[in-house]
Amino acid sequence: MNIVVLGSGGWGTAAAMLLSDNGHTVALWSHDPKKAELLDKTRENPLLKGVRIPERIAVTSDLAVLQNAEMAVFASPSFALRSVAHEAAPHLKKGTLLVSLTKGIERGTHLRMSEIIAQECGEGYRIAVLSGPSHAEEVARRLPTGCVAASADQASAEAVQRAFMNEVFRVYTHDDVVGVELAGALKNVAALCCGISDGCGMGDNTRALLITRALSEISRLAECMGGRKETLAGLAGMGDLIVTCTSMHSRNHRAGILIGQGKSVQEAMDEVGAVVEGYYAARSAHELAQRYGVEMPISTAVYEVLYEGKSAAPLIGVLMSRTPKKESDCSWLRIKSEGQSPSLLKKFNFVLCRAVRVSGQLDTHYVQRIFLTRMSSEKSNWIIFGAHVVRKMICAVRGANMGYFAEKTIFGVDNAANSGYTIRAFQRQQVRFVS
């Protein structure tokens, strides 16, 4: 396969080497002609010291190399992805598989990286993402690594799997693009918090607490935005979170340590000497938490340190002094059962989550328009009401045919006999159901 990797940072270079090892014809593109020339001459990326770039990998700054590409791999920093995709678009041929290796959320728009690529490149392309615990330093040295290839199109995910997978790089496929991308972006915020904790002299217990609770709050937001909680339990979620929060290869963890030791945010990022994606993701996480009404105390605390000038020293104490909670929060997109049919309840909860996931853009454009008033079980059956809401949501994004089909096929007539629920929901830029 003819493959072009767009982005000559550590991860882009490591990915190009991996793909070349697998027998593909690979070109590594850099936006900087001088950097491309240097890489081509020295055959070593300063971010991957001691690792030689094979001669068979062409290094270039000319986007014309994309004209014959069957796969274009985007590996630029999140803040640069839009401009790279915009510049690349005119050179791509229709049908090219576009793969995002970039982890982040765009500031302002809150778009995921695959959404930016789709927006800039237009229609006619297959899109997938590759994410997981994959430090470039270790991938380049061919240390065993596992990742997830996610796409709404199974064939595209499998194509990425075939292209990247070998005896030292294992790839699993997934269909939850939202969950995979949000996990990859938001784990960087948690890594900053763990780094701050380590820099303040906290121990392993504290780090384990932060990692676990960070996973919980990321899961809440991901599910609200259309992802699935189970995705966060896998390689793209827990796997990437662990490695980013514990490894000195992690720029975010290192930056957090420096901040915890008393350095300013800018001093910490300057000392790391490379892009600290968590800095940008922290603002997006804070804004998304506010938009959806999702409680994300760790992300909020990191945001306050990075952007509001709060001292890092009291951060852990503030988190520890929060109101007592139950570990499991079952209220999110759920209806509590009060002696009603567990199977029906489970089915209804599943469909609600699936509707949000399928419709994709409900978060910003459509859910805000849905105001659910208090429903009395004596006046309205909850299944019928739920089916109606699901249909409205899906119709808004995917069209009437899909909406009405979902209502008819997912909710059977027999379900109408079940009642006994009072449904309340509030319009806070999200949908939440409680008994």
* CATH classification of the domain holding 67: 3.40.50.720
Q: Which of 211-225, 364-378, 385-399 has the lowest mean pLDDT?
A: 364-378
Residue 106 reports pLDDT greater than 60: yes
**28 — phi, psi (to 5°)?**
-110, 120
The CATH number of the domain holding residue 216 is 1.10.1040.10
422 is a domain residue? no
pLDDT at residue 60 is higher than 60: yes
Which pLDDT band, with edges at 50, 70 and 90, does 390 fall under? low
Asked whether residue 336 is assigned to any structural domain, the reply reads no
How much is the average pLDDT of 197-209? 94
- Residue 137 CA to residue 249 CA, distance in Å, equals 7
Q: Are residues 21 and 87 in the same domain?
A: yes
Residues 190, 93 share a domain: no
With a pLDDT cut of 90, the percent of the chain lying above it is 65
Q: Pairing relation of β-strands 97-100 and 126-131?
A: parallel
Question: Measuring CA to CA, which residue among 52, 42, 41 is closest to residue 14?
Answer: 52
pLDDT band at 322 (very low <50, low <70, confident <90, very high): confident
More confident residue, 429 or 310: 310
Could you tell me if 167 and 212 lie in one domain?
Answer: no
Q: Is the per-residue pLDDT at 383 higher than 70?
A: no
| pLDDT bracket for residue 226 (50, 70, 90) | confident
Contact (Cβ atoms closer than 8 angstroms) between residue 423 and residue 376: no
pLDDT of residue 411: 41
Q: How far is CA 340 from CA 331, 336, 435, in A?
A: 16, 9, 11
pLDDT surpassing 50 at residue 361: no
Residue 424 lies in a domain: no
Task: Name residue 58's beta-bridge partners.
Answer: 27
Lowest mean pLDDT among 256-270, 342-356, 366-380: 366-380
pLDDT at 118: 95
Q: What is the pLDDT of residue 268?
A: 95
Average pLDDT over residues 172-187: 95
Please report the pLDDT score of residue 294 as a whole number: 84
Q: How many residues comprise the chain?
A: 435
Range of the domain at 377: 342-417
Query: DSSP character for 197?
Result: H
Alpha helix locations (H) across 293-378?
A: 297-307, 315-320, 342-359
122 and 244 belong to one structural domain: no
Same domain, residue pair 199 and 165: no
CA distance 111 to 328: 29
Number of folded domains in the chain?
3
Q: What is the pLDDT of residue 251?
A: 92
How many CB atoms are located within 10 Å of the residue 237 CB? Answer: 30
pLDDT computed for residue 341 by the predictor = 46
Under 8 Å between Cβ of 114 and 226: no
The answer as to whether 316 is a domain residue is: yes
Whether 350 has a pLDDT exceeding 70, the answer reads: no
> Rounded to the nearest 10 degrees, how much is the dihedral formed by the CA atoms of 68, 71, 72, 74?
-170
Q: Residue 217: which pLDDT band, with cuts at 50, 70 and 90?
A: very high
Check whether residue 162 and residue 190 sit in a common domain: no
Mean pLDDT within 319-331: 71
pTM of the model: 0.75
Statement: residue 365 has pLDDT above 60: no
Q: Is the dihedral of CA 343, 402, 120, 147 positive or negative?
A: positive
Q: List phi, psi (to 5°) of 225.
A: -90, 5
126 DSSP β-pair partners: 97
Model confidence band, residue 328 (pLDDT cutoffs 50, 70, 90): low
Q: Which residues pair with 171 in a beta bridge?
A: 147
Q: Determine, yes or no, domain membership for 367.
A: yes
Q: What is the DSSP letter of 363?
A: I
DSSP string, 73-127: EE-S-HHHHHHHHHHHGGGPPTTPEEEE----B-TTT--BHHHHHHHHH-SS-EE
Q: What is the DSSP string of 323-338?
A: PP--S----TT----S
Instruction: Return the closest-CA partner of residue 151 out of 176, 116, 115.
Output: 176
* Residue bearing the bigger pLDDT, 115 or 324: 115
Domain-ending residue, one of 131, 149, 175? 175
My answer on whether 289 and 406 are in the same domain is: no
State the pLDDT confidence band at 223, using cuts at 50, 70 and 90: confident
What's the rounded Cα separation, in Å, for the pair 113 and 127? 11
Same-domain pairing of 257 and 283: yes
> Residue 420: what pLDDT?
27
> Given a cut of 90, is residue 171 above it in pLDDT?
yes
Residue type, 57: I
Helix ranges (DSSP H) in 135-176: 136-140, 154-164
- Looking at the fold, whether 103 and 64 belong to one and the same domain comes out as yes
Per-residue pLDDT at 334: 40
Pair 347, 315 in one domain: no
Res. 349: pLDDT tops 90? no
Max Cα separation, the chain? 77
pLDDT (tens digit, 9 = 90+) per residue, 132-156?
Answer: 999 999 999 999 999 999 999 999 9
Q: Which of 156, 145, 142 is nearest to 17 (CA)?
A: 142
User: What pLDDT, on a 0 to 100 scale, did the predictor assign at position 389?
Assistant: 54
Do 50 and 141 lie in one domain? The reply is: yes
Q: To the nearest whole number, what is the mean pLDDT of the chain?
A: 81
Whether residue 432 is contained in a domain is answered as no
Residue 377 confidence (pLDDT) above 50: no
How many Å apart are CA 277 and CA 189, to the nearest integer? 8
Does residue 335 lie in a domain region? no
Count CA within 13 A, CB hemisphere, residue 250.
27
**All residues at 6 or more sequence positions from 167 whose CB lies less than 8 Å from its CB, including other chains:** none
Does residue 277 share a domain with residue 128? no
pLDDT score of 388: 53
pLDDT tens string 261-311: 999 999 999 999 888 999 999 999 999 988 888 889 999 999 999 999 999
As a whole number, mean pLDDT of residues 81-104 equals 96
Residues forming the active site: 187
- Read off the pLDDT of each residue in 162-169 and give the average, rounded to a whole number: 98
Low-confidence winner among 10-14, 192-196, 255-259, 420-424 (lowest mean pLDDT): 420-424
333 within domain boundaries: no
